[in-house]
Amino acid sequence: MTETIVTITTFDEAKDVYRHKDLRQALYDAGEVVMADVLVNLHGAAHRDRRRLENRLFRRDTVERYEHELFPPIIDATLQPHLDAGRAELVDLGHQLMMNLAASTAGVDRPLGTPAETARLYDYLMRFIEGATLAHYTGDREAKAAEVRAKLEAFDTEFVEPSVQRRLKLIAAHEPLPHDVLSVLLTNQDQLDLPREVVVREVAFYLLAGAHTSATAFTRVTHHLFRWLEAHPDEADAVHDRLFVQRCTHETIRLQPSSPVAARWALTDIELRSGRKIPAGAKVIIDLLAVNRDPAVFGDRADEFDPRREIADGVAPYGLSFGSGMHACIGQDLAAGYAFTDGEDVAEHLFGLVPEAVQRLFDHGARPDPHDPPEMDDSTARPYFGRYPIVFHR
Ligand code: HEM
């Protein structure tokens, strides 16, 4: 029997699909090796119960603590060797930066604190990304899945187990736990009752959900800003305006969502508010590239990169790139901050970690390397940069 596919290209229908309780996650079926039973793949009560517990980690006070206290020293430490060298490669730098943050959100300790240990964690992260995006892998998928499975086991032994043991000791001693996903899972094990491999995958999933999407956005925003500067040489100072850099981040994420589609399975026959009928068993594909350029919401010039565009009330400046409804990205405020509202105090504003990291590059005079142009990644069908050399001019 051929599969019925329903493609959604308008903003209003997409919101309706995201909200519908009889539409179940379908995006990661091929990435099960990392994604089986992790939050984004759960449905109904199982999803609600785990989400409710993990939500506590992403409240405004925690986001503020990350942005103001935890992340600035991580950005500085990660950036310093590149500043000393006068150059950097953005794709790698973005992953290193965002992994360092995501490791603390996920609850992956690095007890040795050595560069070699961080390099090994980075290698795990890259394999997990390949596992989660197997559907787009252009090489031998079965061999890659086996490699990722072995990596998960090694990741458990090297990183998860010591992190679990440290937290169990803290629990036994009635001492405070770090604010991270692993601590939440361990303290609520009586309610969640998760097998060990699910705990390992949930931690691995947070590592990659936090790092890969933000790292991809980091490179793309920087690229858009370079192009903006080329086109507007008289506006060179705009890159030192943090609100402008945040708007460029939102506009980049709208035009280039980290995941260009969302997908759901219809569990029953469904009728959307628009009147569109979706038969049970159909796969619903939300085409985010189209949805985020819907002229009914973003106007006639929706295709253009315009960080100063006016956005209607009730519409997020990054469109639906963080999803919506029950699976809406748990880390969106952490990654992209809050949209600035007129009258708000800039000193109180949270800009988000991607804008803050990009800002730091421009504060150090980042420019594309004139002798080494960027290249695309040809190991995947998706449009990722493979290499993006930059230089710093002070
Ligand atoms: C630019 C950065 C990011 C983008 C574009 C992004 C995008 C998304 C999208 C589109 C979804 C929804 C998937 C769906 O409905 O099928 C999602 C879910 C999720 N994201 Fe993000 N994300 C980003 C950063 C982060 C960060 C920093 C974290 C963690 C700290 C994170 C953790 C998650 C989790 C746990 C979910 C699953 C939520 C659930 O199913 O209830 N993301 N993200």
**What pLDDT does 353 receive?**
94
Mutate to test the pocket of ligand 1, among 56, 329, 351, 353 (most ligand atoms within 8 A of CB): 329
Q: Please report whether residue 369 resides in a domain.
A: no
- pTM for the structure as a whole: 0.94
* Number of domains comprising the chain: 1
Q: Which of 56, 87, 383, 62 is nearest to 216 (CA)?
A: 383
CA of 330 to the centre of ligand 1 (A): 6
Q: Please report whether residue 298 resides in a domain.
A: yes
CATH of the domain at 193: 1.10.630.10
Domain span at residue 341 reads: 5-364
CA of 328 to the centre of ligand 1 (A): 7
Q: Please report whether residue 245 resides in a domain.
A: yes
Q: Indicate the pLDDT class of residue 385, thresholds 50, 70 and 90.
A: confident
Q: Please report whether residue 192 resides in a domain.
A: yes
Q: Indicate the pLDDT class of residue 1, thresholds 50, 70 and 90.
A: low
Q: Which residues touch 188 (CB under 8 Å, ≥6 apart)?
A: 53
Q: Please report whether residue 394 resides in a domain.
A: no
Site of tokens 């929706």 = 302
CA of 1 to the centre of ligand 1 (A): 33
State which ligand 1 atom lies nearest to the alpha carbon of 257.
Answer: 5
Inter-residue contact 285 to 260 (CB < 8 Å): no
**What pLDDT does 147 receive?**
95
Q: Please report whether residue 387 resides in a domain.
A: no
pLDDT of 334-380, one tens digit each? 999 998 887 888 888 999 999 999 999 999 999 999 999 888 876 66
Q: Please report whether residue 70 resides in a domain.
A: yes
pLDDT of 223-281, one tens digit each? 999 999 999 999 989 999 999 999 999 999 999 998 899 999 999 999 999 999 999 99
Q: How far lies 315's CA from each of 88, 236, 263, 326, in Å?
A: 36, 29, 21, 17
Q: Please report whether residue 73 resides in a domain.
A: yes
CA of 246 to the centre of ligand 1 (A): 18
Mutate to test the pocket of ligand 1, among 332, 333, 384 (most ligand atoms within 8 A of CB): 332
